[in-house]
A and B are shown apart, each in its own frame.
Chain A
Amino acid sequence: MGIVLSTVEQGLIYAILALGVYITYKILDFPDLSVDSTFPLGAAVTATMITNGMHPLLTLPASMLAGALAGAVTGIIHVKCRVRDLLSGIIVMTGLYSLNLRVAQDKANLPIFGTDTLFKNGLTAALPDAVADYAPVLILLALVVLCKLCMDWFLRTRAGYLLRAVGDNPTVVTALAKDGGMVKIQGLAIANALVALSGCVMCQYQRFFEISMGTGAIVIGLASVIIGTNLFKNLSFLRATSAVVIGSILYKACVAIALSSGLLPKPQDMKFVTAVLFLLILALGEVRRKKVKAHA
């Protein structure tokens, strides 16, 4: 039971990241690698704020702001300096590694034991034992549903329409007398705000910041998005955002099963298996895209 619960909890935390990756990868058609560093950025901001006695709730908007700034930088490098999308992400990822250490008070590992967090505070302590076990998953569920609903709402505003248009057909955005580059920058900012929020929540969940906690975050995000959107693409009543959230939980479940079933000779083979799976998914996706293009 414990393992199921923690799998769902982690799936929900990464679902926030996956929603961000959904914006860059699916809506903007921009493979944004800076995610690997904006995830720990959110965690670094959170750990530093909490160890300095600030309220855990304040870390949510603060890390989102930090993530948004980093995302905007990726966008500016891509749009204004005309650097290719993948490389823009790599530049920000590299630079943020140092910056994240600075934010985390020059520590590669910053624990936040013994302080209040989103998951352990006066309110959760007052809960009866039977409920207390489920407090984290309920808090996470509420947060994820809130993020999802906000995103659904945003994507149906005028600004959201424009964001979808720029990934779909930038010429239309130009024809609307709008600067497509600016729209992309905004989209990257929003996406990385979500990614950093996910890092913020993860930091409070595991009760420490760790400099390498973002390694492979982009893979988790992409896998969740691809699993979610492909698995549920025929269910029209299920919004893409819901599909992504479920995709994230499914991905974490697959990982948990793979690790516990002894399918993997060693746990450290995990990344290799992930990479192979990932390649398969991308390659299949590419074949499908070509087919769609041929029909267009």
Chain B
Amino acid sequence: MLELRNVTKIYQAGTINETCLFQDFNLAVPDGQFVSVVGSNGSGKTSMLNIICGSIEIERGQVLVGGKDITRMSEFRRHRTVGRVYQNPALGTCPSMTLLENMSLADTKGRPFNLRRGTDRRRIAFYREQLSRLNLGLEDKLHVKVGSLSGGQRQAAALLMSTMTPIDFLILDEHTAALDPKTAERIMELTDQIVREKKLTTIMVTHNLRYAVEYGDRVLMMHQGKTVFDRAGEEKRGVTTETLLGLFNEISIECGN
């Protein structure tokens, strides 16, 4: 179980620009659940993921994993059990290293970064096979620097890298937003496959309402730092893109747009 309890997040506290994004925010995600999160820009989706991963500090409240309080645990320690793909495709890979070196780095996660050879030659066939699942021809680009790949190719590689070693949680922030429709579709299918194979507890932020409806077993809608819609299991199956779209419109009318 992953929990946010009574979380309060204030940006730029003590300045005239002080904004309270979350006030007593609560969220509980049972193990193995795949949650899709939708919501307008600025509703606090990325901030919520940052709070879970420890990338930003909170003013009040707790973050718990399996009942254990990890609020004060550093970001890098939390990543022992967390894989994350960022909204920005540049964040998930090392641009001046080759694809093979990037895959090798990801493969070493959880083991000592010692003086053994950085790339294990015996693993290359496995990397190739993993990359070929993406259908982007990346399996032939192992010796290309990642910086010269397209944003979509990098994002796809980042997804593989973040799920290469055993993890419990997968955090995805609009990870298909930078991709062309066909690649996005392929990456989304692959994400679903990986989540099932590895039984990962997943939180996926997306602007694609169809993905939110089709994938995952719970859907959340956020607005101004609050959960305005939350359906799981059987109830979630009844949710359609029209339902979500209707909600979006309601909210924006309330806001006077």
Contact = CB atoms under 8 A, between A and B. Distances in A.
Interface of A: 154, 156-162, 164-165, 168-169, 171-180, 296
A174 B95 contact: no
B14 interface: no
B108 A176 contact: yes
A173 B76 CA distance: 8
B191 interface: no
Interface string B85-129: 010001111111100011011101110111111110000000000
The number of chain B residues touching the other chain, given as a range, is 35 or more
A161 B104 contact: yes
Contacts of A164: 94, 96-97, 101
A159 B94 CA distance: 15
Contact of B76 (A158, A160, A177, A296): A177
B116 A176 contact: no
B109 A177 contact: yes
B106 A169 contact: no
Interface in B143-194: 147, 161-162
Given A161-B118, A177-B109, A171 B86 contact: yes
A168 B84 CA distance: 18
Contacts of B83: 175
A169 B91 contact: yes
Given A175-B83, A176-B106, A179-B74, A162 B96 contact: no
21 contacts: A157-B116, A159-B113, A159-B114, A161-B101, A161-B105, A164-B94, A164-B101, A165-B105, A168-B94, A171-B86, A171-B91, A171-B92, A172-B91, A172-B92, A172-B93, A172-B105, A175-B84, A175-B92, A176-B109, A177-B80, A179-B76
A161 B79 contact: no
B74 A158 contact: no
B5 to A, nearest CB: 24
Contacts of B112: 158
A174 B79 contact: yes
Nearest to A153: B115
Q: Which of A159, A171, A296 has the most CB of B within 10 A?
A: A171
B94 A165 contact: yes
A182 B135 CA distance: 37
A271 B46 CA distance: 50
Contacts of A169: 90-91, 93-95
Contacts of B74: 179
A180 B86 CA distance: 18
Given A176-B105, A176-B106, A157 B97 contact: no
A178 B113 contact: yes
Contacts of A175: 79, 83-84, 92, 109, 161-162
A191 to B, nearest CB: 17
A173 B92 CA distance: 10
Nearest to B95: A168
B75 to A, nearest CB: 6
Interface string B4-18: 000000000000000
Contacts of B75: 174
B133 interface: no
Contacts of A176: 79, 105-106, 108-109, 113
B91 A157 contact: no
A161 B91 contact: no
B106 A158 contact: no
Nearest to A172: B94
A160 B101 CA distance: 11
Contacts of B114: 157-159
Contacts of B110: 177
B77 interface: yes
Contacts of B91: 169, 171-172
B169 to A, nearest CB: 12
* Residue from the set B90, B104, B110, B115 with the largest chain A CB neighbour count within 10 Å: B115
Contacts of B162: 175
Interface string B22-47: 00000000000000000000000000
Contacts of A162: 105, 113
A170 to B, nearest CB: 10
Nearest to B81: A177
B113 to A, nearest CB: 4
A10 B92 CA distance: 43
A129 B67 CA distance: 78
A247 B101 CA distance: 27
